[in-house]
Amino acid sequence: MSKTSWPFELWIRDLTNSQRLQVGLQVGLGISTSQGLQLGFYRQTCPNAESTIHGMVQQFISKDRTLAAPLLRMHFHDCFVRGCDGSVLLNSTNTNQAEKDAVPNQTLRGFNVIDTIKSALEKDCPGVVSCADILALVARDSVAMVGGPSWVVPTGRKDGRVSIASEALAQLPSPFANINQLKQNFAAKGLSVKDLVVLSGGHTIGIGHCFVISNRLYNFSGRGDTDPSLDPAYAAELKKKCKPGDTTTVVEMDPGSSKLFDDDYYTVVARRRGLFQSDAALLNDIQTRIYVILQSSTNGITFAQDFAASMVKLGNVGVLTGSQGEIRKQCAMVN
């Protein structure tokens, strides 16, 4: 691969024939998406951008595979508030509490990865590559590097200038949510019930904090009880690791393979061992339950391609393009 080529070869082999055809058409004709994004947007202005991002993500993930999950989660949390505009990366100021400091985002990590990549790109092509695009590409490459699928990421997103903690609190899907709340969260972003159950599969990698599941284990309905939707044997295991009031311990969301992107998540949920209430909720809707059972009984027959398709949709939510937004010089602050 030439130094100036962007890393098509790295993910094209994972695409279906119809996806390859679509990629070929879009690249050959320079076709934009309906959101104004374009494959190879930086080919002329920063030809090494995507290969630089890919190479740096590889360096970080090879040193610490646990980074893949938070980097995927960061992109997800970005897109759910004001669209995929990099607003989750902004620091709070004296006059504004930013998304980053909202309770659901206080456990995010990997900001240093984004900042390091941005710094390298600013040296190569100052003021060209947006933080929002970096996040979208880093999420894809992180997943692919821990065994997951790859997907097409058209670029050309601009960075937003607004980041408000209260919006993150109101709009991000909660780990305590029931199925109706989750469906409303996703529908508000133009995402379907299928996208909800597919993107929940991202929990195949990563960890959860004991304090988030404490009420499921110890005081579910306010009477010192355990959530009846949680497998009792698994609840007993979790209680050994998570003591009441524990604010520091973490547990795997997909026990035994939390660093490998596979289809085990659906087997876990089908066995009533989903870590969060939002995982267990997938069994409380006919459409999501059928999907969980299908993937758990077929070794994830369609999960990889479904996840790729839903990630493409997620990456298109509320994007800023053209004269909207800006290209931040530093991802943590507006210009």
> Which residue numbers are catalytic?
77
**Does the annotation place 133 within a ligand binding site?**
no
Determine the straight-line distance between the first and last CA of the chain, rounded to whole angstroms: 35
The domain spanning residue 156 has which CATH number?
Answer: 1.10.520.10
Range of the domain at 179: 48-206+253-316
**Does the annotation place 85 within a ligand binding site?**
yes
| Inside any domain, residue 4 | no
**Does the annotation place 288 within a ligand binding site?**
no
pLDDT at 300: 95
| Inside any domain, residue 18 | no
| Inside any domain, residue 278 | yes
Which amino acid, one-letter code, is at 2? S
pLDDT tens digit string along 95-119? 999 999 999 999 999 999 999 999 9
> Is the model more confident about 28 or about 257?
257
| Inside any domain, residue 138 | yes
Span 108-134, average pLDDT:
98
* This model's pTM is above 0.85: yes
Exposed/middle/buried for 130, CB within 10 Å: 0-12, 13-18, 19+?
A: buried
| Inside any domain, residue 155 | yes
**Does the annotation place 262 within a ligand binding site?**
yes
**Does the annotation place 87 within a ligand binding site?**
yes
b/e burial code for range 264-296 (CB count within 10 A of at least 16 → b): bbbbbbbebbbbbbbbbbbbebeebbebbebbb
| Inside any domain, residue 328 | no
Look at the chain and report how many structural domains it folds into.
Answer: 1
19/182 Cα distance (integer angstroms): 29
| Inside any domain, residue 127 | yes
pLDDT tens digit string along 141-197? 999 999 999 999 999 999 999 999 999 999 999 999 999 999 999 999 999 999 999
| Inside any domain, residue 212 | no
Residues linked to residue 208 through DSSP beta bridges, in sequence order: 251
**Does the annotation place 83 within a ligand binding site?**
yes
